[in-house]
Amino acid sequence: MKLTVLIHDLRRRKVFRGVGFYLIGAWAILQVADVIVEPAGLPPWSLTVLLYLSILLFPAAVFLSWRYEWNGETLIRTTLRTPEEVTDTSLKPADYAIFSVLVIAVGIVIWQVWPNMRLEVTEQPPQAEQVAELKKNSIAVLPFSFMSADPAQGFLADGISDTVLHMLSGVEGLLVTARTSSFYYRDKVMPLDVIAAELHVTHLLEGSVQVVGARVRIIARLVEPLGGTEIWSQNFDRDLNDIFMVQDEIAAAVMTAMRSKMATDNPQTLPEQYRPALPAYEQVVIGRIELFKNTLESMQKAERHFQRAIELDPNYAWAYVNLVKVWYDLAPAMGVNRADNVKRIRPMVEKALQLNPKSGEAWDEKARLAMIDKDWPAVEKYNLHALELAPSNAPIRLGRGNVLLMQGDSEGYLQQVRIAAELDPASSKVQLSLATALWENARSEQAIRVLKENLRRHPKVPGNYRQLARYYLQLGKAGEALRYAYGRYQLDPENLDLRFGWCEQLGQLWDFEGEIQCLKDYLQSDPDHSDARKALAFFNNDLPGVLRISEEDLLQEPNSWYRKLQWAWYASMDQRWGGVIETLGPAFPQLLGDQPQVNQFSLWAARMLGQAYLETGNTEQAQRLLDAAMASIESMRLVQGGGSSVGVDDAMIFALRGEHERAIETLESAIDRGWRLYTHQAFMDANFASLQQDSGFIALKEQMAGIMEKERAYFVAHKDEPLF
């Protein structure tokens, strides 16, 4: 058949029209799907499935167009050619037009789809995000089952498995899954090999506890489920007071059985364990059960149990460590001043170390206090010592990662968090840190995926909502960010930390009336909250009042970077340039001298110090500092997640240098690229003082106000839709 005859027949049978409608319809479906897949909570591969389905159905569309036609009421078989049509095979102008349009349409589809298909192939998640390799020295301690009729003593089963797990985590060469993940499988009816595969371990320790009067029967079993092998098992019938001895024996037996599989040649012994009074031990076990529920009510209960344990046995170091953990999490929710909280924590940490100098958790808390004090040599020393004492402790790994991040080593941070995620894959806190680490290493899409999966598994954890709100704001989706901030607030409207966070988020989207009313309502419950008082005073144009409250904060927290930066920001608006230098210079010594060192944690200080030096006539130091800040911004732009370093800091530096036109252009570009984070504060920043009367600057401020109005409307329209 000649080509002209084929084309003529395709036109007569309306194949071109049918295929055209199919292509337009498929393209429209893909565009709509691209918009709704993420909000609907569908998996990211849904778009890929639709794309390939559209391609696979294309031949069917061609066949149906050839074989059938629409007569206005129903599909009918296409009629055969008439003798005249067989003779007349010439192409009409319409044939050329239709053929050209189809070629262009196919070209556009290929042009749009091909880069995405290449991304599907080339941008696979890095190897570390794949299933972890099973290591022979890995073990998870599952929660022991409680077999007695009296549920009031069920905590003893948790206590045994938790204590044995804690003991094994201090053994060099063993990789021990954290409690959060191993206890996730409590009461789950699953084959052991499936549990081991999900936890990425080769060994499981399981058992049961039965209490009869003053006697306890414990059965423990170490298995290699992927190979179907029982390595060790033993029954223990003891007096209840001998429970500590049984725990020691179980841990020692496991360590002996796995000695050949340990990733070390050094002979290992279990550290000597303190044996507390049994009632104090019971209080700690019950307190840890409440602690891991991670709600405001449960943390308050945990606090009472740990305090009672200390009353019953003042020499019980583990009780002090757990009380410290509760106080760090409980203080913001209860409105406890951060400085007051640190004051009560310090003696507890010192007491724990005095009682048990080999407690990795206590050294980790001491490292955290040193970080608050900005004593960096001490932070490094205590952190490494904690890791040496408890190498399988996921929170200590996170602490090590935080230290590396503060040192500017974002890759090292990610590496430590990945180890923590391997040790504790079901922990919401670890997954939050993993999302942060991915974001800091320019993997924003992976970070969002991790957070959404974490939210699905842990819908009551506020941190998931907070980070998603922050990241969507940085990605330019302010209305979507407000949805997650609202979801966080709705978890517990009586939680003071969540309530204040909601007030702040309203200000992020320029709902100033809403923020003011929110702050007033908040201060009815927590009248001493300094940040709420400052924000309200600032809205009332009471700058002296704001500075007075900020100075009170500095007296309360003299080593706090954040408090010094806050005071300096308000002071710069009041043109107290000498005070800015006196406050920030000693706090950020790396910004001084001939070669200032600027990173993401000191950039804000660098900008304020740079302006202060300019205003006080030290232009040479100012230029050195601003040059270093600009170089740091360019470096951060290469490694940070989407939405970061979009140009706002650049614009401020250009304004300080007097390059006003360039500052306006850069700020406009930042808005176009999705800058939505702390926008209202930025427009008021003293760095932009020289532009406040500039018509272009004013126009950009009005543009941002309009953008935020639309984002608030988006929130109102979608706030009741499910987030996961």
Backbone angles phi, psi at 647, to 5 degrees: 130, -5
Residue 153 to residue 158: CA distance in whole angstroms: 10
Q: Does residue 141 lie within any of the structural domains?
A: yes
For residue 254, give the amino acid letter.
V
- The dihedral of CA 677, 683, 684, 687: what is its sign? positive
Q: Does residue 540 lie within any of the structural domains?
A: no
**Considering 79, 97, 124, which residue would you say is the last residue of a domain?**
124
Residue 7 — pLDDT band, cuts 50, 70, 90? low
Range of the structural domain that residue 257 is part of: 135-265
CB 485 within 8 A of CB 686: no
Residue 81 to residue 654: CA distance in whole angstroms: 73
CB 65 within 8 A of CB 17: yes
Residue 582 to residue 580: CA distance in whole angstroms: 6
For residue 689, give the amino acid letter.
A
pLDDT at 39 exceeding the cut of 90 = no
> Which residues have C-beta within 8 Å of that of residue 599, sequence separation ≥ 6?
408, 632, 636
pLDDT at 47 exceeding the cut of 70 = no
Residue 86 to residue 9: CA distance in whole angstroms: 9
Output the pLDDT for position 128.
34
- Are both 146 and 85 inside the same structural domain? no
Which position has the higher pLDDT, 36 or 561? 561
CB 207 within 8 A of CB 220: yes
- Are both 68 and 151 inside the same structural domain? no
Q: What is the pTM of this model?
A: 0.73
Instruction: Pick left, alpha or beta for residue 142 (phi over 0 → left; psi -120 to 50 → alpha; otherwise beta).
Output: beta
Residue 173 — pLDDT band, cuts 50, 70, 90? confident
DSSP for 224-254, written as a single string: ETTTTEEEEEEEEEEEGGGHHHHHHHHHHHH
pLDDT at 401 exceeding the cut of 50 = yes
DSSP for 396-438, written as a single string: HHHHHHHHHHHTT-HHHHHHHHHHHHHH-TT-HHHHHHHHHHH
Q: Which two tokens stand for residue 674?
A: 């999705």
- Are both 238 and 358 inside the same structural domain? no
Residue 293 — pLDDT band, cuts 50, 70, 90? confident
DSSP class of 80? P
> Which residues have C-beta within 8 Å of that of residue 432, sequence separation ≥ 6?
451, 454, 461, 463, 464, 467
Q: What is the helix (H) or strand (E) element at residue 208, kind and residue range? A: strand 201-212
For residue 333, give the amino acid letter.
A
Q: What percent of the chain has pLDDT over 70?
A: 80
**Considering 92, 124, 156, which residue would you say is the last residue of a domain?**
124
Ranges 139-143, 452-456, 600-604: which has the least confidence: 600-604
**Considering 124, 154, 176, which residue would you say is the last residue of a domain?**
124
Half-sphere exposure of 376 (CA within 13 A, CB side): 10
Which position has the higher pLDDT, 643 or 565? 565
First and final C-alpha spacing in the chain = 56
- Are both 569 and 679 inside the same structural domain? yes
Residue 445 to residue 447: CA distance in whole angstroms: 5
- Are both 294 and 438 inside the same structural domain? yes
Q: Nearest-CA neighbor of 445 among 641, 639, 676?
A: 641
Q: What is the CATH number of the domain that holds 193?
A: 3.40.50.10070
Output the pLDDT for position 42.
53
Residue 437 to residue 449: CA distance in whole angstroms: 13
Mean pLDDT on 635-658: 75
Q: Nearest-CA neighbor of 90 among 3, 18, 19?
A: 3
Residue 33 to residue 587: CA distance in whole angstroms: 50
Q: Does residue 186 lie within any of the structural domains?
A: yes
How many domains does one find in the chain? 4
- Are both 486 and 354 inside the same structural domain? yes
Mean pLDDT score across all residues of the chain = 84
Q: Which two tokens stand for residue 407?
A: 């040192």
CB 370 within 8 A of CB 344: no
- Are both 173 and 45 inside the same structural domain? no
- Are both 354 and 500 inside the same structural domain? yes
